[in-house]
Amino acid sequence: MAKNLVIVESPAKAKTIKKYLGKDFEVRASMGHVRDLPKSKLGIDLEHDFQPNYRLIPGKEELVSELRELAAGSEAVYLATDPDREGEAISWHLQELLDLPDETARRVTFNEITRGVVQDSIQHPRSIDHNLVDAQQARRILDRIVGYQVSPLLWRKIRRGLSAGRVQSVATRLVVEREEEIEAFVPVEYWQIDADLSRVAPAAGEFTARFVGTEKKKQELHSAEDVQKVVDVVEKAPFSIKTIKRADKKRSPSPPFTTSTLQQEASRRLNMPPRRTMAVAQQLYEGVDITGEGTVGLITYMRTDSLRISDEAIHAARSLIRDRYGAAYCPATARRFKARAGAQDAHEAIRPSDVRLTPEQIKKDLTTEQFKLYRLIWGRFVACQMAAAVYDSMTVDAVSGGYLFRASHSELKFAGFTAVYEESVEEKESTVDQKLPDLKEGEPLLLKELKKEQLFTQPPARYTEATLIRAMEERGIGRPSTYAPTISTILDREYVVKERANLRPTPLGRVVTDLMRDKFTRIVDPAFTAKMEEKLDNVEAGKESWTEVLHTFYDDFSSTLEKAEKELTGERIKVPDEVSDEICDLCGKRMVYKSGRFGRFLACPGWPECTFTKPIVVEMPGRCPNCGSRILKRTSKRGYAYYACEKGKDCGFMTWDVPVKDDCPACGKTMFKRSGRGYKRPYCINPDCERFVPEEKRGYKKTAADAEAKPAAGAETGEKPKKPAAKKTAAKKPAAKKTTAKKTAAKEEPDT
DNA sequence: CAGTGAGCGAGCTTCCGCTTGACTT
């Protein structure tokens, strides 16, 4: 047996570290937390300083007993969980569970997983920092109290099964308040005037300049009259060029990715929802079989809020930049970035593990999705170490009768980082960018045409999953590991629904948010988390005890709760039905959304007189290959998405594969692609077509060798199946209940 | 591949944060 045991959180990390530490070290993973509060009750002694009642997380018994055995046979145990609050707490729980005396329990932390840092850090163990552990406990217990005391109130006052929490309730609130803004929005009329101008012959050249205001200050045009006043003057007065400004504009690259920025960019550029992004990133992190290299972890850890980059990685990037693009593209000094305040900074930024593995080089070993995501991460990282892009910019101000019109142009002079990575910028167009003739200051111009356009201000956009995550991060709500799961929670609770990519609150979400804003104002104030973090910092610094922090919080919270209970006596709060656009086939009323054992569905509001119902239809692109009808997305009993002809049984067409927009170029029929991980090229389903792909060749796996190497690797839908709400029926059927219970205990325990 | 809608004879719902693995043709 190895002399030393090292425990980290992630198995992929364990593998890498094992390589660096060699034979004398056994390296194992805890798979995150090992001990927690019980799920079925509060588990906190409110009478005695919030003493927590921890227990082993169900399903981890084997793992822990294995660690215990290894620990008993080792000279030293290195607790190498992540260098943050949660990591420190995991180490402490491990120390307790493995009965490690303080002398054998050596706490080590790795700020980056590079050979040098790992080998050096292992030489400098310390003891567990109980202040950090205490801060984690305070956080954990506070969240438990809020969640487990407010949720039951919602069960009693609104509906069973609901939930509230420090994070999810704020996330829901953001979606609700965005909707309120949209509803309250009053469009404001405004106008644009564009002047088509030309030089006076024989000088040639034309361009368009946009109205800015008077020569003294900006002016907004809000009515046709405003516009007419300007037009009347400008049409008569001569145009001339007042100033021409030329400047070099520099644009610097963005920092490398964190979890939240990766999710945003993947959403914007690859159309990949955050959940999927994380699943694919996980594949890249755990490692992909690269021909000639074996299994290689392609990126650093994907759940991070840090912008740190190891020196090693910076050097590698800089030398790659010099080799591939030339010295001019490599700035004199390396760029380093600072994470936003409040970041825990436990891992590095998300970057390629080995920048020399270019996306093109390993493309053949990756699935399409892996390739696209890797290319994004690789590009963003390389770019972040490159020189700024330089633009030659020119701004021309033309005047007429005291009014100012502006035209501008900017031209790329030096590509810099844009040679690798073009950022997706949110476009705003205050002037028209166009190639400009070679103009001179003071020169007269001819007005060819004045173009007037009436416009209206637009309401703010609904959140998408990615923009909601950005909003949460900006407010310090949630952590990289919880952004995507939190959105799943508020969708599961039906506080929010997804319409295409947009998040919209349901009537239930509004009722719950109203109650929370009214009765638990502090809890759903984004500043609450910020205050909590401040307090936790105090605990970490040893300036305040964790029980003190909790007492202060609970004094206030318990009276808030009491007051809420008192004010909410009597009848339950009614949740209005959400009205759809569907018309009831039987009585013509507009149908409403209801939710039942199998999720949401459409029902006639005339119930019980009219009992007509129908499932919610999501129409997919393409046509049924059997009968040409529409294809609908449906959900199986087990919660998985499948696709079926709208005629249902009458036609009988049904598949797990996803219909795609583009038709088969040969026969024009709808093509499908395998849902799930791996090979995703759309295939033709028509056996008479020359491009027909037989069933066995539509598979998930890339090659037979691949299939052999990882027989367990199955398909992954990315959209996690929504467990059908097992309401009372489950309780009535003991057999069904047992199977669910078994599964639940094993893996659904951490709950997503 | 339709079925679904309500607090009650009983037992149950719920939090945030750290991790991976798992599911039908």
pLDDT at A427: 57
Assess whether A590 (CB) lies less than 7 A from strand B: no
Q: Which nucleotide does the CA of A728 lie closest to, via C1'?
A: B12
Q: Which residues of A are catalytic?
A: 301
Assess whether A626 (CB) lies less than 7 A from strand B: no
Q: Is A732 exposed, middle or buried (0-12, 13-18, 19+ CB in 10 A)?
A: exposed
Residues A60 and A168 in one domain: no
Report the distance from CA of residue A230 to the C1' of nucleotide B24 in Å, as an integer.
68
Assess whether A629 (CB) lies less than 7 A from strand B: no
Of A433, A456, A479, the position where a domain reaches its end is A456
Residues A432 and A531 in one domain: no
Of A368, A384, A400, the position where a domain reaches its end is A384
Assess whether A655 (CB) lies less than 7 A from strand B: yes
CA angle A304, A309, A315 (to 5 degrees): 155
Instruction: Report the nearest residue to nucleotide B7, CA vs C1'.
Output: A160
Residue A457: CB atoms within 10 Å: 10
CATH number, domain containing residue A75: 3.40.50.140
Assess whether A169 (CB) lies less than 7 A from strand B: yes
Task: Name the pairing type of β-strands A630-635 and A670-673.
Answer: unpaired
Q: Which nucleotide does the CA of A594 lie closest to, via C1'?
A: B5
Q: Which nucleotide does the CA of A90 lie closest to, via C1'?
A: B18
Residue A615: CB atoms within 10 Å: 14
Place of tokens 């030329």: A246
Parent domain of A377: 259-384
**Contacting residues for A442 by C-beta, under 8 A, at least 6 apart:** A240, A241, A242
Both tokens of residue A541?
């610094």
pLDDT at A709: 37
Report the distance from CA of residue A723 to the C1' of nucleotide B24 in Å, as an integer.
14
Whether A291 maps to a domain, the answer reads yes
Whether A724 maps to a domain, the answer reads yes
Whether A660 maps to a domain, the answer reads yes
Residues A309 and A241 in one domain: no
Residues A150 and A171 in one domain: yes
What are φ and ψ of residue A378, in 5° steps? Answer: -60, -50
Query: In total, how many domains does chain A have?
Result: 6
A 227-286: CB within 7 Å of strand B: 279, 282, 286
How is A120-174 classified by DSSP, letter by letter? HHTTS-B---HHHHHHHHHHHHHHHHHHHHHHHHHHHHT-TT----TTHHHHHHH
Residues A727 and A674 in one domain: yes
Rounded CA separation A361/A529 (Å):
45
pLDDT at A515: 96
Assess whether A52 (CB) lies less than 7 A from strand B: no
Report the distance from CA of residue A693 to the C1' of nucleotide B22 in Å, as an integer.
28
Residues A369 and A407 in one domain: no
Rounded CA separation A85/A89 (Å):
6
A 708-727: CB within 7 Å of strand B: 712, 714-717, 720-721, 724, 727
pLDDT at A702: 40
Whether A523 maps to a domain, the answer reads yes
Both tokens of residue A340?
């936003």
A 14-43: CB within 7 Å of strand B: 29, 31-33, 36-37, 39-41
pLDDT at A718: 39
Whether A749 maps to a domain, the answer reads no
Report the distance from CA of residue A597 to the C1' of nucleotide B11 in Å, as an integer.
18
CATH number, domain containing residue A332: 1.10.290.10
Report the distance from CA of residue A204 to the C1' of nucleotide B8 in Å, as an integer.
86
pLDDT, mean of each 10-residue run, chain A (752 residues): 90 94 95 96 96 96 96 94 96 96 90 92 96 98 97 93 96 98 98 96 93 95 96 96 96 96 95 94 93 89 96 97 97 95 92 96 93 97 97 96 95 95 67 86 96 97 97 96 96 91 95 96 96 97 97 97 90 86 84 78 82 77 80 66 75 78 79 62 78 69 38 36 40 33 31 26
Contact between A436 and A442 under an 8 Å Cβ cutoff? The reply is no
Assess whether A56 (CB) lies less than 7 A from strand B: no
Which bases of strand B sit closer than 7 A to a protein CB? Answer: 1-7, 10-25
Residues A378 and A264 in one domain: yes
Report the distance from CA of residue A747 to the C1' of nucleotide B21 in Å, as an integer.
8
pTM, two decimals, is: 0.85
Residues A143 and A248 in one domain: no
Whether A646 maps to a domain, the answer reads yes
Report the distance from CA of residue A465 to the C1' of nucleotide B12 in Å, as an integer.
31
Residue A51: CB atoms within 10 Å: 13
Whether A573 maps to a domain, the answer reads no
Residues A522 and A477 in one domain: yes
CATH number, domain containing residue A196: 2.70.20.10
Assess whether A597 (CB) lies less than 7 A from strand B: yes
Whether A745 maps to a domain, the answer reads no
Assess whether A440 (CB) lies less than 7 A from strand B: no
Contact between A142 and A555 under an 8 Å Cβ cutoff? The reply is no
CA dihedral A130, A135, A137, A140 (to 10 degrees): -160
Residues A443 and A480 in one domain: no
Residues A517 and A563 in one domain: yes
Report the distance from CA of residue A484 to the C1' of nucleotide B14 in Å, as an integer.
19
Residues A347 and A380 in one domain: yes
